[in-house]
Amino acid sequence: MVDEKDDDRYFEYDDDDYMYDDDQEVDKSHKMFVECPHPNKVAPPAITVENQDPASTKFIWKIDNFLSMMDKEKHYSDVFFVGNYPWRVFMYPLGNRTDHLSMYLEVADWTTLQYGWSRSAQFTTCYLNSLLQTLYHIPYFRKAVYHMPTTESDMASGRSIPLALQTLFYNLQYNEGSVGTKELTESFGWNAHDSFMQRDVQELNRVLCEKLEDKMKGTLVEGTIQQLFEGHYMNYTECINVDYKSTRKESFYDLQLDVKGCKDVYASFDKYVEVERLEGDNKYHAGQPHGLQDAKKGVLFTDFPPVLQLQLKRYEYDVMRDTMVKINDRYEFPRQLDLDRECRKYLSPDADRSVRNLYTLHAVLVHSGGGNGGHYYAFIRPTLSEQWFKFNDERVTKEDINWALEEQCGGEGRYSNAYMLVYIRESDRDKIICNADVKDIAEPLRTRFPKEQVEKEDEEHKKKDELQGLKTLKVSFHHATKVNTDHLSIRLPKQSTVGDVINELKTKVELSHPNAELRFLEVFSQKISKILPPSEKIMHLNDQYWSGTLRAEEILEEEENLGPEDRLISVCHFTKDANGLKHFGEPFLLAVHEGETLDAVKMRIQKKLQVPDEEFVKWKFAYLSWMGRVEYLQDSDIDPNRFPRSNFGARERYLGLEHPSSMRFLHIRFHKLLRNQLSVITESDLRQCFPHQTLGE
C-alpha cells in the first residue's frame, strides 16, 4: 500500500500480505507501487518508523526525499517484529538487475533462526536448484562433501566440481544472502547459454554423483555415495518345466517408476516386479540340453539403499505429435513407504531379512508446467521434526504437510505435481539427518572460505559501482560462414542504441568480409517477432530467456538493395494438428521481389533449405498471422503488399512452411548449411532439433 504526502513516501506492510499461495496468478510481492517523486532539491533522506500496531502487526516505512536515495544502491528499513521474528525491508531504488525499483522482505538476523532453517539459494536454473537443495539437506552427504580433499590446482582451474560444491554448501549454510551456482555450472563445463537449457534432473543427478564418487576414491569418505544411494536388484528368467534359472544382478542409484496406469507408489512397485510369461512363440532359449522352454521373467530387489530416490515417469514421447508430453494423472505417494509389505514381495528370497525396509518421506521435487518446460521447486523436511519447507529459488517458506503431499499428487486440471521423491529409511534416519557444522569442514577450507568471501564482496562492490547505469544484453550471433552460434554478453550504457550494439558486435565476432553489415532481431517461439531499427534504445529491450531471444546476423547481399516494391518477409516452419499450430526450427528472412509468384519463391526456398524434390512436394505454404490464422496459398499467389513495407519494426504476418517435423534436420541453421555446403549433419545439430529425445530414437 502506498500513501503520498508531498514528497514523502510511505510503505505499509501487513503480515497478511505475505500469506498467500505461490501458485496463484496474482503476485502479491509486486502489489506495492511507487510513483516518481516530483523534482526536488536533493537532501539526505530521512527514514522513520511509525509506531507498530500490535493488534494488526503493521509496519510503516516513511521515506523523506525519495529522490535523494538514488545515490546509494541499496537501502534497509529499521527492524520490526512479526510472529516473534525480526524482519526488515530493503530496496534498490534503481532496480536489482531490472529497470524498475526492486523491494524485498527478509529476516533481519538469520543467525537466530532455529536449526533446520537454511538460507535461500538463488539459482539460474530452477531444476538444478531443487536438486541441490535436496542434496544439501541430507547432512551426511553434506559432511562427506566437506571432507573431500581439494588442491591448489583445483582452485586455480575453476573446473573442480567438489570444490565448487563445497563452496556452494558452505555459503548456503554460513553466509547471509542468496547463493549463486555460477562456479558449479562452470565446473560442469557449461557456459552461460548452457545454464539456460533445461536438462533431465535424473541424468544430472547421476552425473554429479558419479563425479563425486570418483573424486572420493582413496579418501576418508570413499564409498559414501554407494552407502547412501546404491541399491541392487536381480533380473531373473526361470524355466517352468525344467530346473534352469538365469540371474543377473544390477545396481541403481535411483528407480524410475511408471505413473501412467498406476494410482500410487505401491502400484508402480507392483508393476516393477510384475512377472512376464515367456511361452508360445515367445519361449525362452535355455541352452543345451533344455532348448526352448516356457519360462517366467521378472525383477526382484536384493537390497534397498538408506536414501531411496524415486524418479516418476511423468513424461512420454507422443509419436503422432512428435513431441514430449507430460502425464498429469493423479499419483499418490505415502508419507511412510513400507517395502516389506505383503511378505516382502518386492524382495529376493536371498535379501537380508534383518533389514527393515520402512521409509519416511524426506523431499518432494515438483514440476509446474507442460511437456516442453516449466518451473521446478522442492518441498523438504530438513530435520527429524514434522515441519516442511518449500524451496522455490530464492524464497523459503514454511509449509503444511498436507500441502506438501496431497496437493502435489496431480490430477485433472493440475499441472503442478511431483516428479521425484526422496525417502530415508527409518533405521538410518538418525545417522543421515545428523548435525553438519563448522568442525566437519576440512581445516584448509575453514580458513579459506571466509577470506574469499570478504574478497568477493569487495570486488562485487567495485563492479557494481562501475556498472551503475549500464545494461547487459545476451545476444546470439549467427555466423555467415560457420555452423556454430556465438552467445555473447554486450554491456553498454542504458542510453545506447541498437546501432551501438551492432558496432560493438562487429568488434567481437568474425564476419564473412570486412564490410559486412548486421541486423538485430527479436525471435520468439521460433518466429521473428521484430527487426529492431538501429535507433532503438537498448533500455527498452528485454532479453530474458522466457520472453524471447535477441539475435544478430549478417545481411545477405541479395537483401541489401531492395526495390521500392520489394519486401523482406519473415518465414517460419510449422505443423498443424487438433491442438493448433506448433512452430519449430530456425525462422529466417527472405527477400520477395515485385511481381514474383509463390512458385518462384518456392524454388528459392527449396534451394536455400536443400530439400529433396520428393519431400518438398509435400510442403504447404500459407500466410500466417501473429494470432495463428492460416491462409493457404496456390503457386500463382503471393502479394508482397500483405507484408510490412519497412525493413524494421514488428512482424505481424509470416510466410509459413507447413511440413512434417520429422524433416526438421533439413533446415537446421539452413543459412549456415547452405553457405558452407555441408554434407554431414553433426550430433550438435540433431540435439538442437530434438532437445527432449535420446539420439538413436
In the beta sheet, which residues pair with residue 650?
530
3-state secondary structure of 518: strand
User: CA–CA separation, 240 vs 296, rounded Å?
Assistant: 7
Q: How far is CA 293 from CA 244, 277, 283, in A?
A: 10, 11, 5
214-250 burial, b for 16+ CB within 10 Å, e for fewer? ebbeeeebeebbebbbbbebbebbbbeeeebeeeeee
Q: Considering 193, 290, 375, 487, which one is annotated as catalytic?
A: 375
Contacts within 8 Å (CB) and 24+ apart, 272-275: 272/299, 272/346, 273/298, 273/299, 273/300, 273/301, 273/345, 273/346, 274/298
User: CA–CA separation, 599 vs 596, rounded Å?
Assistant: 8
- Reply yes or no on whether 375 is catalytic: yes
In the beta sheet, which residues pair with residue 363?
380, 422
Q: How many Cα neighbours within 13 Å face the side chain of 76? A: 8
The closest alpha carbon to 272, from 253, 285, 259, belongs to 259
User: Please, are residues 81 and 347 in contact by the beta-carbon 8 Å criterion?
Assistant: no
User: CA–CA separation, 495 vs 470, rounded Å?
Assistant: 8
Cβ neighbours for 466, distance < 8 A, ≥ 6 positions apart? none
Cβ neighbours for 544, distance < 8 A, ≥ 6 positions apart? none
User: CA–CA separation, 601 vs 613, rounded Å?
Assistant: 15
The C-alpha cell at 278 is 515367456
Torsion of CA 300, 305, 306, 309, to 10 degrees: -90
Q: Give the CA angle between residues 202, 206, 211 to the nearest 5°.
A: 150
Q: Distance from CA of residue 649 to its chain's centroid?
A: 31
652 burial type by CB count under 10 A (0-12 exposed, 13-18 middle, 19+ buried): middle
According to DSSP H, which parts of 20-100 are helical?
none
- Write down the residue that cell numbers 541453421 correspond to: 669
683 burial type by CB count under 10 A (0-12 exposed, 13-18 middle, 19+ buried): exposed
User: CA–CA separation, 435 vs 116, rounded Å?
Assistant: 10
Phi and psi at 452, nearest 5°, equal: -65, -35
Q: Identify whether 289 is preceded by a cis peptide bond (ω within 30 of 0).
A: yes
Distance in angstroms between the alpha carbons of the first and the last residue of the chain? 55
User: CA–CA separation, 295 vs 448, rounded Å?
Assistant: 62
User: CA–CA separation, 669 vs 48, rounded Å?
Assistant: 59
3-state secondary structure of 529: strand
Where would I find the beta strands (DSSP E) of 437-548? 470-478, 485-493, 518-524, 527-532
- Reply yes or no on whether 659 is catalytic: no
Catalytic residues, by residue number, are 126, 375
